[in-house]
Structure 1
């Protein structure tokens, strides 16, 4: 029986060395998870046999268990590298359409615009609707428009945040005041204030029609009384209204013929009325339209001035944006820490196109390794549960980084020496048994 003991020990030690060698070979493999050989004894016995009737007949490798401990996260700076810190796997779709799972986040963008692994499997994620910002609930292969530009979007809203100078005089100007020392209190002489040019407080921005053709829009603000300003989009109209009021005499309020709205501020400089201004009719400068066409059609453009203030400082525009854009080509892709895939386009637009999906399993050790840094689910692992990074028991992502192999090289080298000694010891039991058998055969 000792021959069988030694032989089983040799086999088990050899398999253990195979596992250790595989770990060492993959010490630098991104997302690799080490394994360990787990042994069990072999016993020969008869049912119901009493004490002393059970005989050990050696050892076997009961399982090769994967160790899904966290690997170190190394910053790479590559905008398509992403590491999982915690539980979960990236879901990928292989060339045959089957699903696989990986911890290696060294992704690439291929020539067709697909986000893929080094093995060519497509990375799965949740698509984001650019219009609403909402993501789908079903994971699908992530692909981006590298062969054609994204469609233009017409402007529906202009948002402006600015400060109007509270020290400004009425746009029409102010008549001169003669001195009156006998008045109570005495009145000092005041020089006339000329009309303020209509372009003094103005700014401009480009808006876009449905074909992405830009049309410049200007905004002009004329003070028309205490804490009150008129809003114009046509300089010629503003100047005409100003000239009419000035001709009636300095100090005459404006009688706007085409003011788009009136901004009213309180004593603290906070806007209390006049925003938003809906239905701005902006004529598109598009030679392809058979007749004059307004930006955003009959609905018009909404002018959001809710961030306007009136303080005693110079006129300054803090922010001026609109939500339309021309068509544009994809220039770069970045994956953020929450898994959002941000695409940048040549028209200056950067928007979320998708979110990387994560999968988790009830028993990750039941996954079957199929090579190429991939695992597939099995009956033992249970079905994949899909989710988003950071939700529930799913790990967080680290963009611009990769998860290293979790192989402890020092420990593996020590384990290799131990396995080698075990192999030598089992070989020695076979040698000793052979000597014993030779002694018995040579008895006379």
Structure 2
């Protein structure tokens, strides 16, 4: 019996050495989770149970359980390197077969899909053309490198103060004569082909709390590039400096193409970009202007006794953009930045969690598969519920504690020697008995 007990001890110590050696071998493996050998004692039992004087039959390997503790997050400088800070696994798809990993060293393949080093695709949620994430449906994440289509300007939002103490001007407005207007503000606007134009707004103080405004695009009338006649409007203010009323010109060329006013917003109806023909004459540059016109939001306009100035300004148009950089936030949203200063979401990384991580089946490559024991995965966006967050430009290191593993080596070696001594002692006793016969 002692031989068998000693043999079981040798086997257990050998397995402990194997597990410890595997941990040490993977100390530099990204996303690796250390394991530990768990043992249980063995007793012979009859149908009615184990007797009170039964001697044990040795030891057996009960399980090799993985320790899913957090590994260190180390910066790498590669934007597609991602580490999970907290609970969860990246979801991978190999032709529809899902697996899970903590190793976030990703790259793009020739088709711009985000993949592991062995070509397995990262899963997540796609984004629509407006950058809205489409939640609920997993898909292969892809970095769209196509140009961002231009957008014509439809809204100019600005905060302007018109000096209430400025001198009144009675001269006829002439954009070439600075004495005929109080201030001018240029704004870049874009047509539907991404061409840049300059919209000039001129402000003229005509009386107490009363101002006139004139608008030109590229120095031409927005609806008729052959004319330099501006679209005009008026703004009157309350004694407290807030807008009282606004009116738009309906004198040129017809009322349906006027500088209309709606809720303190000048609406420059369907403007047409201007260009010069071969003879140098100004002509309409096609129909790529904004069909709905440009809304000039004057809601924030004031008239206080301080310098006439534009305090804030934004417009929603932009030229064609080329992908210039990529960033990933803590919720896994991938943002593409373009050469036209625009950015939009192009996808979101998904992560999975399991009720019983110990039930996952190891499949090599620092990956796991779902099993009945693990339960089905709960897949969602990072930082949802108990799911961890994403750290971009970084990787999660192995959680192996090398000092502890070296100590485990010493303990396993001692166990092996002690169990070998049990067998050696039993052999000596057997030799003594044989010599007695």
TM-score of the aligned structures, taking structure 1 as reference length: 0.81
Aligned to 2:270: 281
Give yes or no for the alignment of 1:14 onto 2:7. Answer: no
Query: 1:369-405 CA distances to partner (integer Å, 9 max, x unpaired)?
Result: 2222222211111111111222211112233332222
Q: Give the SS at the match of 1:232.
A: strand
Counterpart selection for 1:156 from 154, 158, 182: 154
Query: 1:216-252 CA distances to partner (integer Å, 9 max, x unpaired)?
Result: 33333333433343333228789xxxxxxxxxxxxxx
Q: Give the SS at the match of 1:201.
A: strand
Aligned to 2:251: none
Aligned to 1:330: 323
Distance 2:157 2:50 in 1: 90
The 10-residue stretch of structure 1 (78-87 or 356-365) with the greater mean CA deviation from structure 2: 78-87
Q: Give the SS at the match of 1:234.
A: strand
Compute the RMSD of aligned alpha carbons.
Answer: 3.1
Q: Give the SS at the match of 2:207.
A: coil
Counterpart selection for 1:222 from 204, 216, 241: 204
Distance 1:317 1:134 in 2: 35
Q: Give the SS at the match of 2:231.
A: coil
Aligned to 1:253: none
Distance 2:204 2:105 in 1: 57
Distance 2:210 2:395 in 1: 58
Aligned to 1:295: 289
Deviation at 1:270? Answer: 4.3
Q: Give the SS at the match of 1:12.
A: helix
The 10-residue stretch of structure 1 (382-391 or 218-227) with the greater mean CA deviation from structure 2: 218-227
Q: 1:129 to 1:12 in 2, by over 3 A?
A: same
Distance 1:149 1:324 in 2: 15
Give yes or no for the alignment of 1:339 onto 2:332. Answer: yes
Q: Which sections of structure 1, spanning at least 5 residues, go unmatched? A: 175-193, 239-255
Q: Count residues with an aligned counterpart.
A: 403
Give yes or no for the alignment of 1:30 onto 2:3. Answer: no
Distance 2:51 2:410 in 1: 36
Distance 2:425 2:165 in 1: 107
Aligned to 1:354: 347
Deviation at 1:313? Answer: 3.7
On the 8 A contact 2:168/2:205 being kept in 1, the answer is yes
Q: Which sections of structure 2, spanning at least 5 residues, go unmatched? A: 222-228, 247-263, 277-282
TM-score of the aligned structures, taking structure 2 as reference length: 0.82
Aligned to 1:100: 99
Distance 1:3 1:144 in 2: 63
Query: 1:35-75 CA distances to partner (integer Å, 9 max, x unpaired)?
Result: 11111112212111563353421111111111111122223
Distance 1:85 1:312 in 2: 54
Distance 2:244 2:143 in 1: 45
Query: 1:19-47 CA distances to partner (integer Å, 9 max, x unpaired)?
Result: 11111122222222111111111221211
Deviation at 1:140? Answer: 1.3
Aligned to 1:64: 64
On the 8 A contact 2:9/2:58 being kept in 1, the answer is yes
On the 8 A contact 1:282/1:300 being kept in 2, the answer is yes
Structure 1 stretches of at least 4 aligned residues deviating more than 6 Å after TM superposition = 235-238
Aligned to 1:213: 195
On the 8 A contact 2:88/2:351 being kept in 1, the answer is yes
Give yes or no for the alignment of 1:314 onto 2:307. Answer: yes
Deviation at 1:111? Answer: 3.5
